Chain A
Amino acid sequence: MQAAALEKIFVKGNEAVAMAALEAGCRCYFGYPITPQSDIPEYLSRELPRRGGEFIQAESEIGAINMLLGASATGVRAMTSSSGPGISLKQEGISYMAGSELPGVIVDIMRAGPGLGGIDASQADYWQATRGGGHGGYRIIVLAPASVQEMYDLTMMAFDLSDIYRIPAMVLADSVIGQMKESVIPNPRPVTVLPPKEWVVRGREAGEAQNVVKSLYLGDGEMEKFHWKMAARYEELAEKECRWEEVQTADAELIVTAFGSVARIAKTAIAMAREAGMKVGLMRPITLFPFPKKAYAALSERCKLFLDIELSTGQMIDDVRLAIARDAEVAFYGRPPGAGSLPTPEELFEQIRKNYPTHA
């Protein structure tokens, strides 16, 4: 269990997700193949049965998400994964899980859309993921890894947060992070105190109270009570679970903000800018929901200019605008998905140079 003794492995981002799920004690996986995430079911179809778990290639994504709902209701750790078109199909089930307060991990390795789109990297599922995605008004936990190591670590974290808060958790990455290989330390499952799952459905003994898992609230005032309870839980999440990475923000005159793969590219662009004498920093949200609003607000007290970069025409920028001080501004640079639309560090450096305040 000593981290120092762990040998680095060299794996794809998607494989790291699958390995982390196993390490986190995931017992059931349900999915349907779609590029660029099929390495996850491929890996788990081989490894999960060996460890006494259950792997099912469902008849469709809708089948898979409802199997996840069912498995989760029995208390086991379970996961599904897909990409844009499949994640859209899963939204009904995710809404039912949210309504039933069921944990469960959903992995979205984003590809270009809308519709069938294409298999290139995209960040255009940000709205869908962070606003709930299905009907009825709910939020899910959304974690955005920017490296293969984080694919591993955040997948394990997704299981823990989902169990603690009884909210479905999504790992939101793209085909860059999913398909690239990196050296990874296969960390052991973190020691987290988890609440007992007293709500699970199981055979009951005589005299025991009946557990019912459902998302139907017909009783007088029942539904409203549920919504206010969840609103309070989202507040608690925002209070306790926001995670982000800041790089050289202390003296920054311009703060680049980006998540996932683009944040990685931006990091190198920022290093180039620093070399050129520009005071530039990076703010990378790791939890997209809860969004680290307070951290943005604090940064914008001192630094008044942000540059938001996304592989879309601008989605996270909404949250950045809502979070920062009124007198701070956000510039935007977007590369909507498509073949060859991945920006280079040189290109992002050019954007930094263009937006850098001239008074500084």
Chain B
Amino acid sequence: MRYDVFFAGYGGQGVLLAGNLLSYAAIHEGKNVSFFPAYGVEKRGGAAMCTIVFADGDTGSPVVGNPSVSVLLNQLSFDKYAAKVKQGGICIVNSSLVDTSAVALPGVEIIMVPMNQIALDMGDVRMVNMVACGAYIEKSGALLKESLEAALKKALPERNHKLIPANVQAMEAGALAARG
């Protein structure tokens, strides 16, 4: 089985960390992984995106034209990339920041998750990427929640390990919201 997911948002939303996290989780499950990042030269506020491909065998192209699943965290990413989602694919949208009304996506399942709101309710808007990861594993079924927990230990520096329980809760909340 070969899975691909495209994450996009603006710099500071944790798009690249989310991609790293999913990659570590996939490695934890014994998969081969490619993580292909692209981001603006700005530290915050520029565009940030990454494509993650994981498979039991060869991951093939690190570049994906029509992703099976896209997770879009801001309006700009939605306007630019929502139409690229593959027919029969899933588009997970941060409804706190994105208005989808102007765009119709026939053949694509749109999942609205108020990611900023959920993260804020849990105490910190910076957990928006964890909410997004939770929504992704819920809708794709591609990775186990336990693998993401293990991945947090690998992807985060030791000094931040105390934050892992809160991040796991944020993932669970994201999953719950995506379940609808």
Contacts and interface: CB of A to CB of B under 8 A. Distances in A.
B12 interface: no
B23 A343 contact: no
Contact of A183 (B27, B62, B64, B154): B27
Contact of A344 (B58, B63, B154): B63
A264 B64 contact: no
B3 interface: no
Nearest to B59: A182
B33 interface: yes
B101 interface: no
A35 to B, nearest CB: 9
A225 interface: no
B34 interface: yes
Interface in A305-354: 342-347
B33 A10 contact: yes
A344 B6 CA distance: 13
B165 interface: no
B89 to A, nearest CB: 13
B95 interface: no
A212 interface: no
B173 to A, nearest CB: 27
A111 to B, nearest CB: 14
Q: Is the interface of A mostly helix, strand, loop or mixed?
A: helix
B45 interface: no
B1 to A, nearest CB: 14
Interface residues of A, number: 24
Contacts of B62: 176, 180, 182, 261, 264-265
Given A10-B23, A10-B24, A344 B37 contact: no
Nearest to A339: B38
A147 B23 CA distance: 16
A271 interface: yes
A347 B65 contact: yes
A179 B35 CA distance: 9
Nearest to A7: B27
23 contacts: A10-B33, A147-B34, A148-B34, A176-B36, A180-B36, A180-B37, A180-B62, A181-B23, A181-B34, A182-B33, A182-B59, A183-B27, A183-B33, A264-B62, A267-B61, A268-B60, A268-B61, A342-B63, A344-B61, A345-B61, A345-B64, A346-B66, A347-B65
Interface of B: 20, 23-24, 27, 31-37, 58-66, 154
The 10 closest A-B pairs by CB, nearest first: A344-B65, A268-B61, A346-B65, A268-B60, A181-B35, A265-B61, A180-B36, A345-B61, A183-B33, A182-B34
Interface of A: 8, 10, 147-148, 176, 179-183, 261, 264-269, 271, 342-347
